[in-house]
Structure 1
């Protein structure tokens, strides 16, 4: 296929000027008639790898997808871009299905999305030659090695036998090497070309926090992200309902979403989330959301996922548009215990437990988290990422030998027969029933660690486990027991280095520092509101009109003509025709308003400072009130003084400073720049002090 035709199709239907890494290579392979396996992270552009060829291929492209919601979302997006597509599933009325069969017969459809369970229904309408391409989305579902095995996928191996001359493309966001090989074998495409994109989603911030006071942390996190959509993943249905209810009580728009709800309830909640009517979804990990929403700005794991594949796929729902997005995982041993129980009841217990162990190691790590993730998927990375909690705040280590001796000797006196909770209670001298009933208040180690908080003890003990001094006997009700290494600390003067634990205030300050808020009066917000209005008028999700990344580019570039507007990434021909006029009109109006405001602000800014000064506020207080640098306020005061306002500048500088500047002025021959004075004083006098002194001297002259 010629390059010009591919690029013009890409721009016309998808709004992009160029392909992302690997996309062009995969598309060329499809046109060459090859079978392909594509491993590409969520948001990496997998769909274009089969959607663009589908537009140019002569016959229909069959897409196998596991979730009705995902199919509907993809079809709505394709239709919005001017591409003929439909989906077929068991929930549709007979008449709707017949209409789709007629479109197939008349070769009017470019893409048909089908659930694996519905394949038999359409089989009689298709024969080899009528299908140009078969795409299998979420292909990891076919493998028992994968993290989301679905029995219905196991029948898909027949497709290659049924359509031997049709190229088949299997796509997934997450698959380790064993799963990749299994996918190809199960689909009867052992010779498929493998394309593995980078798993490095640089826009995703990674963070793990201890699972204490989770809800309070979540509320603070969400309230700092006004108007932003997010998902909270939980381990149980009850968790989703409890958290959603508490969030509502805190004035937040949240809904629980799990398999226990009726189909109508799930559809309503999902539509509200997609259409930005509801801000937050609390969902069970076991129940896939199937959402292609591009402007999810954050994902929280209230409970730990059972493996890194699932975790990676779930955090990948955030920031699909490439803009900065946050992910946060709460880690607790209660979750580990629960997940181990699930694993022992599964069909492949050894694999599940091994993957859970890797998940646990990730959660407890004191090294760059992105490196751990990428290494797991075979993408070796040497340098730290700078965008995870460990990189942003590398641990400060201290001598924790005494703390270790206290904890280890307490485990020794408890005879290795108690879990972490009771160990901490004994160390802190708790007087609860569990401690008193067993006479643990009589132990020599009772209360020897009462100066350390419960939360901090929990974190230190987790570090002792990671360092190999303590092990958890999962088969003995999670009792903590000493290892051989513990003897070095207790009896052989061995030293222990511990990472300092950040307190809650420090965590909160970090959160405030890194939170990026969209201003309510920004052009982005104006365009977002216009997009929301248009989406409600048309009954389609807002991100299907334009995603956040496209709006941010509009904010940056300010296109005011058709030519400039269509040059924006994400603006195709149909979207230009449908929405270009309204968005250009909004950008022009905002730019005019901004120019008027700028003139007004420039004229009034000194007067505002003068009014606050006359009301008795100090420079620091004015700076805080106006959210301007103190140096800016000093420059306002200097100008006001020079313009004749009654301000005593000598309250800001000393007589000696004034004399020194006066001498420098004479010695330097009255230079024009402050920098000359600053360098003359060898940086020992502030710029604003020099400016004040010169203003006084000029007035005197």
Structure 2
């Protein structure tokens, strides 16, 4: 009782909490009793306090092995804030100068430092081992312990040397290993490698009831992400991408669409990454677009959504990354986009790896594919992967599959067939092999085992691939079959499966859905704001354009061209910023002609109670592409269009199209230096005056009216560009 009171008092003193969460108290007691301790606790469960509090209460310094500099800095800053003085916690890694390292070692030696965070790479340096031998080490905490296992999603070879280093420092140092993601296989690897098979094990449920899981087929993904983020403005979110290039692209697209966002990846300068992280924590930035390098150990409780632009490489990675949402127990939306092309890319990444590593990687990836394509409760699948059985009724419709209308089928006959196959084939094959036999795929492996001659071969062809994928997936999820992860995912019959073969009973499974075919919403009927052309508004805008054209003595097409008006009638821009997003409307045209148009549209929207599309218009950087920027700069330097075209490796016709596109988007260009060289002044005036009174801006009509013998197409095009630039922009 006295120990418990002491723990609560210290918890209150150091961290300001009155009560422990879950197993925290038992874990801390285990460490204080100098026992090896293994903690498996989901993100947001309060793992850090499990080693921070006993470190503060113990004699000597606790060594915390952590894989990321950002994680160390974040936790050291927090501990210093709680402890009231800087020397209470330090980190020792490659980011420090020699002077800073000396200061750290002085504080540790003086007994002022209770927690010393060390990167695994720094831990193995002989000079650091010698230093740690000279101090009193209370215990060693191995954070992100899944990095030890090659079956984990973030395997790091340096982690496998940790036990050897601990033994070098001193015998019988207690160890606490902590992870938020560990399958039974990974748990076994961690305990074996750290030589803590007799450790006290504390395993919390992996269920995060406040997180909503959703997987969508990947179609127009950038627009989908921008639409989602803009409908959640002001909320913190993370968007994960597989490549640095995609990170930059998505962050840029969000930024130009009015979202405070920044990119984060390993290719950026460390200082930039640290600044980005601080801005996210301080809420100067709402969205971080990142590779998986971001977020590990970042203690931001109010991340409201995590989006995966690309399907993740593993279920562990997916669980950990989605786990950064809703750590305060509030709303957390986890949205992932899936496509076969992403899977193909990930498979290609593995082709050059050693065979054993490739086999492991393929199996890990296969779990992600099964999760994405299955129509079964997402939560049930995640928890099953981590060794937990879960009744989907407990999901409370907190995933897309539980909310969706599902197609189910009577699975008794199909399940019995699959279980019999696995039993008769001798439990030597994975689900992919079983499905190939049922579908009649005569592979070399099937031929070598002569299963193309068995009664099962092609017996399931009529039912189709999706049904058999559904049967195999749910046979595993419902524990009729188990995957032997030590042996490349080979299927074996469980006691439950054997019992079913003896006494089968009626049961229903749900059908997988093809994720690469975008689903249509039930309410996708044409309506205002849904992308249908509003013909009534179009006529009103044309009338307004005609009126303004008469007032300014300009042809209507100079104000706004028809395609721009049509786009206004599907997206309903109601302010100047939104109008600038419409194609063919840049800053110049918007400020020169835009006000009466947005006033008309605004009134029309209110009068007709129109529900504008949330995804209004996705701005792109197309009109700011490197080519266009270069063209504008070269024109400012008065370089001839032929020379610009030659330097860019494009034709003269193509350069004219690019220039026309720049001008039609509202940018004013002065081409007089070039036009004066190729068209004499009188002919320029004739074409200019023609366009002033023309009803349409057609080059063919101009050639017909002005005479194709006197002018060629390029000359008319040049003069139309000059005309639109001077009068329209």
| TM-score of Structure 1 vs Structure 2, range by shorter chain | 0.5 to 0.7
Contact 2:209 / 2:398 at 8 angstroms: preserved in 1? no
Q: Deviations over 1:105-157 (max 9, x none)?
A: 11001111111111234322223770111101011111212111112212212
- Given candidates 379, 382, 386, the residue that maps to 2:396 is 386
Moved more, 354-363 or 187-196: 187-196
Query: Match of 1:134?
Result: 140
Query: Match of 1:327?
Result: 334
Question: Per the alignment, in what secondary structure is the counterpart of residue 132 of structure 2?
Answer: coil
Give me the whole-angstrom Cα distance separating, in 1, the residues matched to 2:193 and 2:402: 43
Change (3 A) 1:269 1:9: same
How many angstroms does 1:287 deviate by?
6.3
Change (3 A) 1:507 1:2: farther
Query: Match of 2:116?
Result: 112
Query: Match of 2:370?
Result: 361
How many angstroms does 1:388 deviate by?
3.2
Query: Match of 1:371?
Result: 380
Change (3 A) 1:19 1:290: closer
Query: Match of 1:302?
Result: 309
Give me the whole-angstrom Cα distance separating, in 2, the residues matched to 1:238 and 1:28: 47
Change (3 A) 1:156 1:341: same
Q: Which structure would you say has the larger RCO, counting Cα contacts within 8 Å and 6 or more residues apart?
A: 1
Change (3 A) 1:506 1:11: farther
Change (3 A) 1:152 1:180: same
Q: Deviations over 1:579-620 (max 9, x none)?
A: xxxxxxxxxxxxxxxxxxxxxxxxxxxxxxxxxxxxxxxxxx
Query: Match of 2:234?
Result: 227
Unaligned runs of 5+ in 1: 400-464, 476-481, 491-495, 509-620, 625-701
Contact 1:140 / 1:183 at 8 angstroms: preserved in 2? yes
- Given candidates 151, 154, 157, the residue that maps to 1:151 is 157
Query: Match of 2:44?
Result: 43
Give me the whole-angstrom Cα distance separating, in 1, the residues matched to 2:463 and 2:407: 20
Query: Match of 1:651?
Result: none
Unaligned runs of 5+ in 2: 410-434, 446-456, 466-509, 526-607, 612-729
Q: Is 1:255 paired with 2:262?
A: yes
How many angstroms does 1:32 deviate by?
1.4
Give me the whole-angstrom Cα distance separating, in 2, the residues matched to 1:503 and 1:290: 38
Question: Per the alignment, in what secondary structure is the counterpart of residue 362 of structure 2?
Answer: helix
Query: Match of 1:503?
Result: 520
Query: Match of 1:610?
Result: none
Question: Per the alignment, in what secondary structure is the counterpart of residue 486 of structure 1?
Answer: coil
Q: Is 1:17 paired with 2:39?
A: no
How many angstroms does 1:274 deviate by?
2.0
Q: Is 1:167 paired with 2:174?
A: yes
- Calculate the aligned-residue CA RMSD, in Å: 3.3
Query: Match of 1:672?
Result: none
How many angstroms does 1:375 deviate by?
0.8
Question: Per the alignment, in what secondary structure is the counterpart of residue 330 of structure 1?
Answer: strand
Q: Deviations over 1:364-386 (max 9, x none)?
A: 11111100100110111123302
Contact 2:62 / 2:141 at 8 angstroms: preserved in 1? yes
Contact 1:160 / 1:189 at 8 angstroms: preserved in 2? no
Question: Per the alignment, in what secondary structure is the counterpart of residue 460 of structure 2?
Answer: helix
Q: Is 1:69 paired with 2:44?
A: no
- Given candidates 457, 460, 477, the residue that maps to 1:485 is 460
Contact 2:254 / 2:261 at 8 angstroms: preserved in 1? yes
Moved more, 261-270 or 247-256: 261-270
Query: Match of 2:414?
Result: none
Query: Match of 1:272?
Result: 279
Change (3 A) 1:488 1:303: closer
How many angstroms does 1:488 deviate by?
5.7
How many angstroms does 1:466 deviate by?
12
Give me the whole-angstrom Cα distance separating, in 1, the residues matched to 2:275 and 2:440: 49
Give me the whole-angstrom Cα distance separating, in 1, the residues matched to 2:463 and 2:185: 40
How many angstroms does 1:221 deviate by?
1.3
How many angstroms does 1:14 deviate by?
1.8
Query: Match of 1:435?
Result: none
Give me the whole-angstrom Cα distance separating, in 2, the residues matched to 1:74 and 1:212: 39
Normalised TM-score (structure 2): 0.56
Contact 2:264 / 2:276 at 8 angstroms: preserved in 1? yes
1:415-564 aligned within 5 A: 485-487=460-462, 502-504=519-521, 506=523
Give me the whole-angstrom Cα distance separating, in 1, the residues matched to 2:214 and 2:437: 21
Aligned pair count reads 437
Question: Per the alignment, in what secondary structure is the counterpart of residue 2 of structure 1?
Answer: helix
Query: Match of 1:596?
Result: none
Query: Match of 2:199?
Result: 192
Contact 1:207 / 1:328 at 8 angstroms: preserved in 2? yes
How many angstroms does 1:469 deviate by?
6.7
How many angstroms does 1:504 deviate by?
4.3
Query: Match of 2:621?
Result: none
Question: Per the alignment, in what secondary structure is the counterpart of residue 25 of structure 1?
Answer: helix
Give me the whole-angstrom Cα distance separating, in 1, the residues matched to 2:29 and 2:105: 30
1:652-691 aligned within 5 A: none
Normalised TM-score (structure 1): 0.58
Give me the whole-angstrom Cα distance separating, in 2, the residues matched to 1:198 and 1:114: 29
Change (3 A) 1:195 1:67: same
Question: Per the alignment, in what secondary structure is the counterpart of residue 150 of structure 2?
Answer: coil
Contact 1:142 / 1:149 at 8 angstroms: preserved in 2? yes
Question: Per the alignment, in what secondary structure is the counterpart of residue 133 of structure 1?
Answer: strand
Moved more, 175-184 or 258-267: 258-267
Query: Match of 1:182?
Result: 189
Moved more, 132-141 or 218-227: 218-227
